């Protein structure tokens, strides 16, 4: 049993000007929530860093949260979608290539609140499902 | 090269009444930020779910974000600390056992914005460092 899943998504090779455009990122967040039938609890907290800096966006959901951070200097955008139900998958690869010009998207799924079966005190990796589509 | 690290921490066996106590969780968040020298950009967004529900807290940081979600019905608290610098470790096991009565704490560290070395389109797990302390 787990209490939810977290999708850890990193997009590489994005267009830098889009990573400084909060409205572009807000539009992506809206698409994610619409397509996955998730519900925001508020407008979200958005912060655009000064100068050549990127954008941070945090949205609390009825079903947990969605976070985005961008790094225009590295052409990277990272997303974390934490969902307290199973099956919140989204077409990250296709959609982020289209919306941000990403060339490579990595996706990691981590089960949250799942106690490892082992009783050892040694490290045991949490089950992960990972795909890299470039 | 990576743009940051995400600490994925799940605490099991917590005292249910503490998982419904936003002020207790806010105090933990303050301790984390103080001890790791991270800086919040705002007061944070906090939501206490109705009835026997838990609490969601999201805090945007100068260095990315910290999120907490609790599940009193399962005696579970989950934390995600995303930090755009390396070395944001905290004494999760010791501190969450003391603050929430947790019996087991699992910790996963995920590097964010690190392109896998492989050029294959097949899945390659992101490097993880995991410890389970029960």
Q: Looking at residue B122, what is its pLDDT? A: 39
Please answer whether residues B13 and B71 qualify as being in contact, where contact means their C-beta atoms are separated by less than 8 angstroms: no
Residue B36 falls inside a structural domain: yes
- Inter-chain touch A128–B125, beta carbons under 8 Å: yes
Q: Looking at residue A132, what is its pLDDT? A: 53
Indicate the residue of B60, B67, B71 with minimum beta-carbon distance to A113.
B71
Residue B132 falls inside a structural domain: no
Please answer whether residues B72 and B11 qualify as being in contact, where contact means their C-beta atoms are separated by less than 8 angstroms: no
Give mean pLDDT, residues A70-87: 94
CA A53 vs CA A42, A67, B44, B59, B71: distances in Å: 25, 17, 21, 19, 36
- Inter-chain touch A67–B65, beta carbons under 8 Å: yes
- Inter-chain touch B104–A115, beta carbons under 8 Å: yes
B69 to chain A, closest Cα gap in Å? 7
Q: 3-class SS at A102?
A: coil
- Least confident stretch, A25-34, A42-51, B119-128: B119-128
Residue B70 falls inside a structural domain: yes
CA B117 vs CA A116, A132, B66, B108: distances in Å: 28, 11, 28, 21
Domain count, chain A: 1
Expressed as residue numbers, the domain containing B62 is: 4-112
- Least confident stretch, A2-11, A109-118, B37-46, B99-108: A109-118
Outline where DSSP puts E strands in chain A. 4-12, 45-48, 55-61, 64-71, 76-83, 104-112, 128-133
Q: Looking at residue A86, what is its pLDDT? A: 81
Residue B133 falls inside a structural domain: no
Residue A59 falls inside a structural domain: yes
- pTM confidence score: 0.88
Segments in chain B below pLDDT 50: 119-130, 134
Proportion of chain A in helix, strand, coil states, percent, rounded to 5: 25, 40, 40
Residue B120 falls inside a structural domain: no
Given strand A128-133, what is the order of strands in its sheet?
A45-48, A55-61, A64-71, A76-83, A4-12, A104-112, A128-133
B86 to chain A, closest Cα gap in Å? 16
Residue B121 falls inside a structural domain: no
Give mean pLDDT, residues A103-119: 87
Backbone angles phi, psi at A88, to 5 degrees: -95, 30
Q: What is the CATH number of the domain that holds A25?
A: 3.60.90.10
Please answer whether residues A55 and A78 qualify as being in contact, where contact means their C-beta atoms are separated by less than 8 angstroms: no
Q: Please, which pLDDT band fits residue A127 given cuts at 50, 70 and 90? A: very low
Q: Looking at residue A134, what is its pLDDT? A: 46
């Amino acid at each position: 049993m787990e209490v939810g899943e977290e999708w850890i998504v990193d997009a590489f090779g994005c267009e830098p000007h889009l990573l400084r455009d909060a409205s572009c990122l807000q539009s992506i967040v809206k698409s994610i929530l619409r397509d996955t039938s998730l519900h925001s609890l508020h407008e979200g907290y958005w912060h655009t860093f000064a100068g050549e800096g990127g954008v941070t966006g945090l949205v609390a959901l009825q079903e947990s949260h969605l976070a985005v951070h961008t790094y225009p200097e590295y052409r990277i955008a990272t997303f974390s979608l934490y969902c307290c139900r199973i099956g919140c998958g989204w077409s990250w690869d296709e959609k982020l290539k289209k919306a941000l010009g990403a060339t490579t998207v990595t996706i990691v799924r981590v089960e949250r609140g799942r106690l490892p079966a082992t009783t050892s005190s040694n490290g045991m990796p949490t089950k992960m499902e990972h795909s890299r589509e470039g």
